[in-house]
């Protein structure tokens, strides 16, 4: 044991200046820079090669690797594993901040663009569009003819007012009833429900008695999609009943 203790002492003496040196550090997550010391425990070690304390000669036992030198936690956000030397951390933080800024800029630009629902239905920007849905969910009598004629838009209003499901709404002299066309089916394994429901609306003019269906086109498209891609491969002999082709 004597030899081991000597090695330990040798190692401790070599390591001492590493732990005792005050360092300028930074957090790549929050951008905070601060002064602190390397620690003996932590999540991420200091990269190898930095101030290597052990000149090893051939045949000598390596008394130290960098396995036990760690960066401390961030002194501001208290994150572990996000601290580097101040320069590196700041560079990483600023790069990410710039990325986030550009992303927010792109989103703001997109949100400012007009929202086009149909040929006759356009809103000044995303906020105006959402505000309009909120407003009509509370005041359905204010819905314009073009809004009633868009199943996509009306579905948004119905969702806002009632949530999921089929409901009836009175709008001036119209009665609007939401229906859902069931395009769902069970997966080949029979475990998962696939496909989706397509909303359409029955609009009754209570003055004339005339009934009009809105969103029939969307349902037709959904049916076409299904016919084209097949509801269930296991029902399809042309696709080998959903089984892999083996030679
Ligand atoms: Zn931090």
CA of 73 to the centre of ligand 1 (A): 8
Among the candidates 109, 135, 162, a domain finishes at 109
CA of 51 to the centre of ligand 1 (A): 25
pTM above 0.75, yes or no: no
Among the candidates 94, 109, 124, a domain finishes at 109
Residue 80: which domain range? 2-109
* Rounded-to-integer distance, Cα 222 and Cα 236, Å: 19
One domain for residues 104 and 126: no
Residue 46 within a domain? yes
- Phi/psi for 24 (5° steps) reads -90, 110
CA of 154 to the centre of ligand 1 (A): 46
Q: In this structure, are residues 26 and 84 in contact, taking their beta carbons and an 8 Å threshold?
A: yes
Residue 74 within a domain? yes
CA of 86 to the centre of ligand 1 (A): 11
Sole residue written with tokens 């891609």 = 229
How much is the CA Rg of the chain, to the nearest whole Å? 33
Residue 241 within a domain? no
CA angle 54, 60, 61 (to 5 degrees): 75
pLDDT the model gives residue 140: 96
Q: pLDDT digits over 181-216, tens only? A: 988 888 777 788 888 899 999 999 999 999 999 998
CA of 33 to the centre of ligand 1 (A): 8
CA of 126 to the centre of ligand 1 (A): 35
**Arithmetic mean of pLDDT, 104-116:** 96
DSSP 3-state percent helix, strand, coil across the chain (nearest 5): 40, 20, 35
Instruction: State the CB neighbour count (10 A cutoff) for residue 120.
Output: 12
Among the candidates 78, 109, 140, a domain finishes at 109
């Amino acid at each position: 044991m004597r030899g081991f203790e000597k090695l330990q002492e040798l190692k401790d003496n070599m390591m001492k200046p590493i732990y005792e040196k005050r360092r300028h550090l930074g957090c790549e997550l929050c951008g905070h820079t601060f002064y602190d010391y390397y620690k003996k425990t932590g999540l991420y070690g200091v990269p190898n090669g930095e101030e290597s304390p052990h000149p090893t000669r051939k045949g000598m036992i390596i008394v130290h690797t960098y396995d036990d030198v760690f960066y401390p936690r961030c002194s501001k956000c208290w994150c572990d594993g996000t601290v580097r030397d101040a320069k590196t951390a700041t560079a990483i933080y600023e790069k990410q901040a710039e990325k986030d800024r550009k992303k927010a800029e792109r989103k703001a630009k997109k949100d400012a663009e007009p929202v086009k629902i149909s040929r006759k239905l356009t809103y000044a920007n995303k906020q105006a569009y959402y505000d309009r849905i909120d407003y009509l969910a509370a005041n359905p009598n204010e819905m314009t003819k073009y809004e009633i004629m868009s199943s996509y838009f009306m579905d948004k209003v119905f969702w806002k007012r009632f949530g999921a499901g089929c409901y009836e709404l009175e709008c001036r002299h119209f009665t609007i009833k939401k229906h859902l066309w069931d395009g769902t089916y069970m997966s080949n394994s029979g475990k998962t429900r696939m496909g989706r429901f397509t909303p359409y609306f029955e609009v009754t003019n209570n003055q004339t008695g005339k009934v009009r269906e809105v969103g029939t086109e969307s349902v037709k498209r959904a049916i076409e999609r299904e016919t084209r891609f097949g509801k269930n491969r296991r029902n399809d002999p042309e696709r080998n009943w959903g089984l892999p082709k083996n030679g």
